[in-house]
Amino acid sequence: MKFSANLGFLWTDRPLPDAIRAAKAAGFDAVECHWPYDTPTGDVVAALEDTGLAMLGLNTRRGDVAAGDNGLAALPDRTAEARAAIDEAIDYARAIGCRSVHVMAGFSDGTDAHDTFVANLTYACAKAAPHDITILIEPLNRYDAPGYFLSTTTQALGLMTEVDAPNLKLMFDCYHVQLMEGDLTHRITSLLPQIGHFQFASVPERGPPGAGEVNYDHIFRHIATLGYTAPLGAEYKSTAPTGETLDWLPAAKAR
């Protein structure tokens, strides 16, 4: 199997280009990130070319983090900011050869929020399509992100049906889905055609796989059995320096 290092959580003590090189040295097959915008695109491209790794995804900006923002696309009174963040993310992704953008919904609820999110996702998909970029949406669990607009895969599928764009896909983070819905094996099987990327972490600690209530040996084998061959995203909180948390990786890659 193949694995991607999420550099929003791993090697966060290093500048992004150095983190990319560390991921390659550790044996990862790809990388992904959260908010790379303070790093010049040329520096990221150089690191990707040096390592031969692909950058799989990045997020739209959260907004005013100090004021509590965690995304903008479902906030009815902030459409201009949300679309500026979408434009910025697509432009950055194009510059570094990244093939997907996660559009963050933010803290909101109700009909107006739903309609705003649908409109902004429709906008994002139309902007991304000419560049062969996939737009991702990700349900976040109510414990880590109480009040986040998107919290379940069922809700995500409804949005995807309404937007009806072929480049809108589900970010299936096993950590969030287990906390909100459980039944990972059957959900992965039924949702696979709609899934654009997988992420994982132990539950409930959100640490490396190998502890907690999810048997990732089983989950990884199941995903492989379904014929999914893209890298799976390691998005977990390091319990030690990142290099000391990778005991799971060699065996997982050998599956």
The CATH number covering residue 217 comes to 3.20.20.150
Model pLDDT for residues 84-118, shown as the tens digit of each residue: 999 999 999 999 999 999 999 999 999 999 999 99
DSSP state of 167: T
Instruction: Please answer whether residues 207 and 201 qualify as being in contact, where contact means their C-beta atoms are separated by less than 8 angstroms.
Output: yes
Residue 198, beta-bridge partner list: 172
Q: At 39, list the tokens.
A: 């790093």
Q: Which residues on adjacent β-strands are paired with residue 209?
A: 211
Provide the angle, in degrees to the nearest 10, between the axes of the packed helices 79-96 and 111-128.
30
pTM over 0.85: yes
Expressed as residue numbers, the domain containing 11 is 3-253
Edge to edge, the sheet with strand 58-59 lists 30-32, 3-6, 232-234, 195-200, 168-173, 134-137, 100-102, 58-59
pLDDT at 255: 77
Bridge-partner residues for 195, per DSSP? 170
Query: How many structural domains compose the chain?
Result: 1
Task: List the catalytic residues.
Answer: 138, 235
pLDDT band at 55 (very low <50, low <70, confident <90, very high): very high
Please give the mean pLDDT across all residues of the chain. 97
Residue 71: strand pairing partners: 105
